[in-house]
């Protein structure tokens, strides 16, 4: 089991993600620089949060041209696992590895707080150790987390069960008041049709141990580890 943590200029959650995968999971980890053209044999690529290339033009728009993205595309096409968190989710949509787009928050303000998400699907490598309907408390920190897609794409995501997390209240109710950014249908995380590429706006790596006051996010990483162990 080997993780690759991508470091783009402006990444700021790479060390958090490395800590969870290496120190908490005990996995082997490679740090992948944005100019690398070799994934060094990793099983799961994680594109962490931050402000890749300063989020110039729009979040993730320049990162899709980084040299590291081409081997990531090949890895995904071959069935390899790719996981984008927050800015990483934005990068994956810009790179065409996930559908939709992340727009400015509906209130045009940066959101940094704890929210709740409901686990919608458990037959994915990042949710297989969770329970369907399980509510997780996680932090968000984004100004462009408003997931958008046209109605046909949204219907397609629903039909193929590609919506894996939705914003909800603490009781698991998917209501507009629990939506922190205006995301369509309260979508907080999705996967591709092949269920090997994932993106979510909340930060599971920032709530993966009780020392931080909340370990709800560890289940996401334990799910990945369990999935890789079965391969």
pLDDT (tens digit per residue) in 55-91: 988 999 999 999 999 999 999 999 999 999 999 999 9
List the CATH number of the domain containing 47.
Answer: 3.40.50.880
| Alpha carbon of residue 19 to chain centroid | 17
Catalytic residue flag (residue 171): no
Look up the domain containing 110 and give its range: 2-230
What is the reported pTM?
0.97
Half-sphere exposure of 57 (CA within 13 A, CB side): 11
> What pLDDT is recorded for position 231?
73
Q: How many domains does the chain have?
A: 1
Marked catalytic residue, from 44, 129, 205, 207: 205
> What pLDDT is recorded for position 1?
92
| Alpha carbon of residue 66 to chain centroid | 19
> What pLDDT is recorded for position 24?
97
Q: What b-and-e string marks burial along 166-183, b requiring 16 or more CB atoms within 10 Å of the CB?
A: bbbeeeeebeeebbbbbb
pLDDT tens across 166-202, in order?
999 999 999 999 999 999 999 999 999 999 999 999 9
> What pLDDT is recorded for position 148?
98
Question: With 80 as the cut, is the pLDDT of residue 51 above it?
Answer: yes
> What pLDDT is recorded for position 230?
87
pLDDT tens across 116-159, in order?
999 999 999 999 999 999 999 999 999 999 999 999 999 999 99
Marked catalytic residue, from 86, 168, 191, 207: 86
Catalytic residue flag (residue 86): yes
> What pLDDT is recorded for position 47?
98
């Amino acid at each position: 089991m080997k993780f690759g943590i991508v470091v783009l200029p402006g990444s700021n959650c790479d060390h958090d993600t490395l800590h969870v995968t290496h120190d908490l999971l005990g996995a082997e980890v490679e740090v992948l620089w944005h100019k690398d053209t070799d994934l060094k044999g990793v099983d799961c690529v994680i594109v962490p949060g931050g402000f890749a290339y300063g989020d110039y033009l729009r979040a993730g728009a320049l990162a899709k041209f980084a040299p590291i993205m081409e081997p990531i595309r090949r890895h995904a096409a071959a069935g390899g696992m790719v996981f984008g968190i927050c800015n990483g989710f934005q990068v994956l949509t810009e790179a065409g590895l996930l559908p939709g787009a992340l727009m400015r928050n509906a209130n045009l303000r940066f959101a940094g707080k704890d929210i709740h998400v409901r686990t919608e699907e458990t037959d994915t490598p990042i949710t297989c150790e969770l329970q369907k309907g399980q509510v997780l408390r996680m932090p968000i920190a984004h100004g462009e987390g408003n997931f958008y897609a046209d109605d046909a794409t949204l219907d397609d995501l629903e039909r193929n069960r590609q919506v894996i997390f939705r914003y909800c209240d603490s009781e698991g109710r998917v209501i507009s008041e629990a939506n922190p950014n205006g995301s369509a249908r309260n979508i907080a995380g999705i996967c591709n049709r092949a269920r090997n590429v994932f993106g979510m706006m909340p930060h599971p790596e920032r709530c993966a141990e009780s020392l931080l006051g909340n370990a709800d996010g560890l289940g996401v990483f334990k799910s990945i580890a369990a999935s890789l162990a079965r391969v």
